[in-house]
Structure 1
């Protein structure tokens, strides 16, 4: 999936508003292009690990928006279910990003994370660049929650590499750390 363009989709989403009620909006692949985006797949609303992950991501949302990144959470539930969950869960009420409904499984299939025969998405994260190309992906098993702080670090690295052709970010790279310029001179010296 790395290096592939996202495929066309149209989805209904619940988008929380500053007034707290939220609204239903349509989101398409065209809306994603031109900006950095995170597609944050999770199995289902009203579950166990999922609300902890979404709360963690919600706590990083302002940081991500400041980096020019929009977040789209995606499950195979409907946008109606997302609204009900947002209204009834203290953790989910913190979300400000669009929550896409994928009951037709188009988006989960496009990203290759639909669980065969279950109708649920895997726990998966994709970072998409402004050209609509997947630059980062992570898929974990059902019981392993993700870390939004680490996601922010990975996005910073992807943005750095895009803005600085010929440079790469080594393990544990943090913004401001040294990078590498791959060349014959470095072979065997790292």
Structure 2
């Protein structure tokens, strides 16, 4: 079942705010009023996961400039996130919020929970300021994600939101032509 166009489900979770070093509470309301990226991964202290989260950190400043907040989520606790942050060179670079989901409620709500293993799959979601999922990507455990692709997707999602009646074609880049779906375009692309 696709989550595209659907509002994120309510949740309440403890998180490690890596930028400040604090433990905080996060709900779905924190993701409203701004653009959000929610990045699920299987587990702390693993192999592909730190490469992905470090790569996501490399895009964090650009995402913040676009008005986007980033949240990583695994079924580990917020305490485990802090320990990982304190002991991994890659994870030690992270400044965004790392949400603990030991209850698996958030992972279930985004439909990325591997029930047999009790771990989240590699899912990335772009959530608009209304809390509506605008884009989703889910990879198999052995396939790491490239965070640089998020920037273009978010720019396109923001453009479409701010320009009703226009859509962004494949490989659209900021400033390039968009399309206005109409009877005049049918069969001409």
TM range (shorter): over 0.9
Question: Where does structure 1 lack aligned partners over 5 or more consecutive residues?
Answer: none
TM-score of the pair, normalised by structure 2: 0.97
Distance 1:72 1:31 in 2: 10
Match of 1:76 in 2: 75
2:150 match: 151
The residue aligned with 1:15 is: 17
CA RMSD of aligned residues (A): 0.7
Displaced runs of 4+ in structure 1, greater than 2 A? none
Q: Could you tell me which residue of structure 2 aligns to residue 61 of structure 1? A: 60
CA distance in 1, matches of 2:14, 2:161: 31
Q: Which moved more, 1:9-18 or 1:155-164?
A: 9-18
Aligned length: 187
Residue 17 of structure 1: how far off its partner (Å) = 3.1
- SS for the counterpart of 2:56 is helix
TM-score (norm 1): 0.97
Q: Tell me, in whole angstroms, the C-alpha distance in 2 between the residues paired with 1:94 and 1:170.
A: 35
Query: Which of 30-39 and 99-108 deviates more?
Result: 30-39
Partner Cα distance (2:19, 2:55) in 1 = 19
Cα distance between partner residues in 1 of 2:19 and 2:187 = 53
List gaps (5 residues or longer) in structure 2: none
Q: What residue is the counterpart of 2:8 in the other structure?
A: 6
Name the structure 1 match of 2:38. Answer: 39
Q: Deviations over 1:53-103 (max 9, x none)?
A: 100100110111111100000000000000010011111011100000000
Q: What secondary structure does 1:81 align onto?
A: helix
